[in-house]
Amino acid sequence: MSYSKSYTVIIGGGLSGIALALAVKRAGGNPLVVEKRAYLGYEMVGRYQMYVEKNAETDEETSAWQTEFSLQPVQIENEYCFYQGETKAQLLRRLREESIPYLFFCSLAGVFTDEYNQLSAVLLANSYGLYQVKASHLVDCSGEDTVRHILSIEKSPSRLLHSAYTIEVENIKTKETRLSGTANWNGSVNYHHSKRADTSLLSIALMKNEMSAGDRFSRSKEENRVKSVAADVIGQLRKIPGNEQVEVKNIGFEAAVEYEEEWVPQLAVIDNIYQNPYVLHFNFSERDLINLMNEAASLAAKIHKREGATSSQLYLYGEALEQKQLCRLEDEAIVWMDVEMWPLQLMETELPLYLTDATIVGLGASGMAALEAIRQDSQYIGVELQSLLGGTRTAGHVPNYYYGYRGGHTEKLNRRLKDFEKQVLNLHKTDPNQLDRNSLALMFHSEAYENNDKMLLQAVVCGAYCKEERLHTILVNDSWGLCYIKATNTIDTSGNGDVAALAGCRFEYGDPQDGVPQTFSQWGIDEKNVPLFHEQRFSGDYDAVDVTSFTDMMRASTVAQLNNSTYYSSNPVSYREGRRIVGEEYLTLAEAISGKQPHQFFAVAESTIDNHGRTSTELARMGLACCEKIYKIALPFGCFRPLGIAGLFVGGKAISAERDVVGTVRMNADVQNAGYALGIAVRKSNLKEKDPDYEKVCGQLQEEGLIPKEFLQQQRLGAEEAVTQLDEKDPYRLLEVLLQQEEEVVPYLRNAFATAEVETKKMTYAKCLAWFGDASGSELLKKRMEYLIKYEVIDENSDISTRCDAVKHGVQGDINDYWELNQLILVSEKIGDADFDELLIRAATVATAGGQPHVSKITYYASRRDMIEVPFYERIFNLAYVFSKRPIPQAKKALEHILEQENIGGNFYTYDPEELPLFFSSYLELTVAIAAALCGSTNAQKKVQAYTGDCRSVLAKFARRYQDIISDVTV
């Protein structure tokens, strides 16, 4: 193992950490910023707007902010006003301009020393595991005293943790506001003007609340407490005449460490460890920034460039441990911005150990539901990567349901939220169906405080250990360092199957053909000239991230932060699709939408087939993934249980199912109900049994309304009935036939085809037969296919022009010409008749519309970049799919011609994460290039080769998957 560079590792990517990184770089050092969040800035970007008092000692026109960070604040009276999104983007841009590397999602877990007891490396933790990075210096700019906690410099330190709280609200009508404190809080109100709207904005800062910092769980308890207080503050504010329409815009939490006396870095065996040189709180001035920059420069001058030696000891909790006995090094390093991160596996050693009945990892909508079920009669610990409870529904800015079964736990939660809004928040809505993410977050934290929930917020699971095919222990890291949690059962509701992956569970990811997932959401990109933030919040779905790859998550977060809108306010990346575990049962789309009741009915979903991207299964490629059709889906218990790992349950988007199923069952209402069901299952197995008794669990599920009668009473059509009711104008009846078993339905189809007198009816039977590989109606299919190829394109009123919204998500109420030809293209491949080859080539020849991307007439779709497509988009994908499965050399010319069209071909690969082409143009180009290369095109082979180095991991992996196959093709 060799390292290329040793770094001054700066823990904390807030203003202090960034200032120091810039200073170290100027001094000739090698800074590396390590931040546990997905963005830089922390206090600076914790609000929509930040106000900084202007320096009264100088009349200089250029502020220190402009000098150091190239930020252009708005001056309001005697203060500078900064906006969250532009501040986030510029902080990261400054690091990239100076070639300063940074790592998101990472936290400090330990320190390595060389044989002379000099610092040689740091141990970092994230949800992918533990990593060693070479270090010459370590600087704590976390504001949380992270280094002291992890190294246990004082075994029983005398210190106090204080908390301050900031809430931002709009629609304040009274400038003079006085709030009376209660027994729980005492605070002050700061009023500021707002540039964003005619209304005003208010910041409420609570007074310091001292508490003991000797308990690992104390910080999370305090965070829940102050957010409970915040709810009371908002309720009081709305009672003031004129403030009835006050709206919460942002909620945050600040914690810092105070000392009875100044601490001087001292640790005999490790040198070069510094405390945060300057802790900034929510209210600071221009002079504070100047002082900070001066102190950073002074500290940087003390840091001399020094290469670290070979690591020999690892310090965890102040204890020196032999590295050889603890860690197993992998052969290759993970590299981001030239920083080498060497994966390590920590063997069992003495660390703080917490025993409990249940652990819930991921406290989003599903995890909070599981916790609520468990808290009734079991001990539990919740672990959450963020500081805000609620996941997608709160931090992810998607509080509403859209689809999903709204009975069961979801119905009870909705009632509770309405009561909380009326009784605590004094909120009376004009639209009771419109849900508020901040209200939900405040309720979750208030309930957690009232129930004294044991939680670790801003903590990451970085290891999982199994014994005798059962999850035994998980390894968790937070600002206090590493610890073990041992539970009888663990629920993984991380949304990405993080615990399951660390425990060695097999998983799938993305489309089974190419590995490409749904696009991720980046809220509020300034792509449209829309004045209001909330009208452009959907415009960011223009990239796909490989959540199985740490470096691609870094890339996606970089892209998201650099492209912030001025008022960007959520986490940079909210991905719709993560890992899918391989479980005890595997649910296919055909099984899911058939209405078939599973062996062990455990949870339900009620939604459309909704993939933001492209659907994967052939049923979907046939245009039968219809957005209008709502399916009632029964989920079996085995989908939530990883194969071969007992004691672990997986919820959220990571269940064991086909990709198109997960796109259907991922709605908020459904993952909440499934999470509550998982909590019941764990609760039933905690006391005497290690594994739940399904019969006992099922009875409780029915009592709670989680398995409704209408799902139990679904009737599935038999083969004969499905054929009898087949209607060529109704796609859903066609789907009923295609869902049947081949041996059962084909005899009825043959008979119906032979006796049908109406040609359109006969055509529909022929198409169904072809789906099952039966060529009985192939001559009729060829005739119809030839007609559609000839007349669809030249007809100015063809479906590609008038029904282009159906191009994305399939048919909408009837089978139109566009999708009928798509269906014929697919079923012709199933027959395998060479007579169809010429027709397929002709279809490819005329499907080269290209041109500017089509913008939907539906506002929602028009504002999403993953919904904007070139004409014939899905047609070209289907043709490429068919030619990839059965390459035809004669198709090479037609496919090469497609690759010459605007927004279809154009070398849309990129190696620069800051210069990204439209993702779906890149995806389409690569898909067609692979098909053309398989048909013998040398130019297409070169294009595929170029994509193997694309900075977007999902496309690079897609290209590499076919690289060897293509190289064997005879040109």
Quick check: 47 and 168 in contact, CB under 8 A?
A: yes
Please report, as a single letter, which amino acid is at residue 607: S
Polymer length in residues for the chain: 971
Please name the amino acid found at residue 302: K
Residue 541's pLDDT band (boundaries 50, 70, 90)?
Answer: low
Which DSSP string do the residues of 761-819 spell out, in sequence order? HHHHHHHHHHHTT--TTHHHHHHHHHHHHHHHHH-TTSHHHH-TTHHHH--SSS--HHH
Handedness of CA 322, 461, 555, 279 (dihedral sign): negative
Q: What is the pLDDT of residue 74?
A: 77
Q: Give the DSSP letter of residue 853.
A: P
Interacting residues of 312 by C-beta distance below 8 A, sequence separation 6+: 112, 113, 114, 115, 120, 322, 323
How high is the pLDDT of residue 518? Answer: 83
Query: Which of the listed CATH numbers 3.50.50.60, 3.30.1300.30, 1.10.8.420, 3.10.180.10 matches domain 7-154+265-344?
Result: 3.50.50.60
Per-chain mean pLDDT for the chain: 79
* The pLDDT value given to residue 733: 84
Residue 400 neighbours by CB distance under 10 Å? 13
Q: Looking at residues 355-377, what average pLDDT do you find?
A: 94
Number of other residues whose CB lies within 10 A of the CB of residue 447: 19
The residue whose two tokens read 């009711």 is 725
Rg of the chain over Cα atoms, rounded to whole angstroms, equals 29
Mean pLDDT for 502-517 is: 92
The one-letter amino acid code at 748 reads: Y
- Residues 671-694: what's their mean pLDDT? 82
Of 76-80, 388-392, 451-455, 617-621, the range with the lowest mean pLDDT is 76-80
pLDDT tens per residue across span 629-664: 788 899 999 999 999 999 999 998 999 999 989 888
- Of 127-136, 140-149, 632-641, 828-837, the poorest mean pLDDT is in 140-149
Q: Are 224 and 443 in contact (CB under 8 A)?
A: no
Q: Say yes or no to pLDDT of 799 above 80.
A: no
CB 860 within 8 A of CB 528: no
pLDDT higher than threshold 50 for residue 117:
yes
pLDDT at 3 over 70: no
Residue with tokens 């990839």: 884
Question: Which residue from 877, 797, 875 is spatially nearest to 843, judged by alpha carbons?
Answer: 875
- What average pLDDT does the segment 114-127 reach? 85
Burial readout 481-519 (b: 16 or more C-beta within 10 A, e: otherwise): bbbbbebbbbbbbbbbbbbbbbbebebbbbbebbbbbbb
Query: Of 113-122, 124-133, 641-650, where does mean pLDDT reach its minimum?
Result: 113-122
| Res. 766: pLDDT tops 90 | yes
Residues 526-535, mean pLDDT to the nearest whole number: 39
pLDDT of residue 430: 72
**pLDDT higher than 60, residue 122:** yes
Mean pLDDT of 939-961: 95
pLDDT in tens, 394-421: 887 788 888 899 999 999 999 999 999 9
Give per-residue pLDDT as tens, 848-863.
656 555 555 555 555 5
* pLDDT tens-digit series, residues 7-63: 999 999 988 889 889 999 999 989 999 999 888 887 666 666 677 777 655 555 567
> Under a CB-based contact definition with an 8 Å cutoff, are residues 92 and 13 in contact?
no
- Classify residue 200 as exposed, middle or buried by CB count within 10 Å of its CB (0-12, 13-18, 19+): middle
Choose the weakest-confidence range: 150-154, 236-240, 645-649, 743-747: 150-154
Specify burial of residue 177 (Cβ count, 10 A radius: 0-12, 13-18, 19+).
middle
User: Which two tokens mark 331?
Assistant: 């052969």
The model's confidence at residue 865, banded by pLDDT at 50, 70 and 90, is low
pLDDT value of residue 314: 74
| The pLDDT of residue 208 | 47
> Please, which pLDDT band fits residue 306 given cuts at 50, 70 and 90?
low
Nearest-angstrom CA–CA distance, 892 and 938: 10
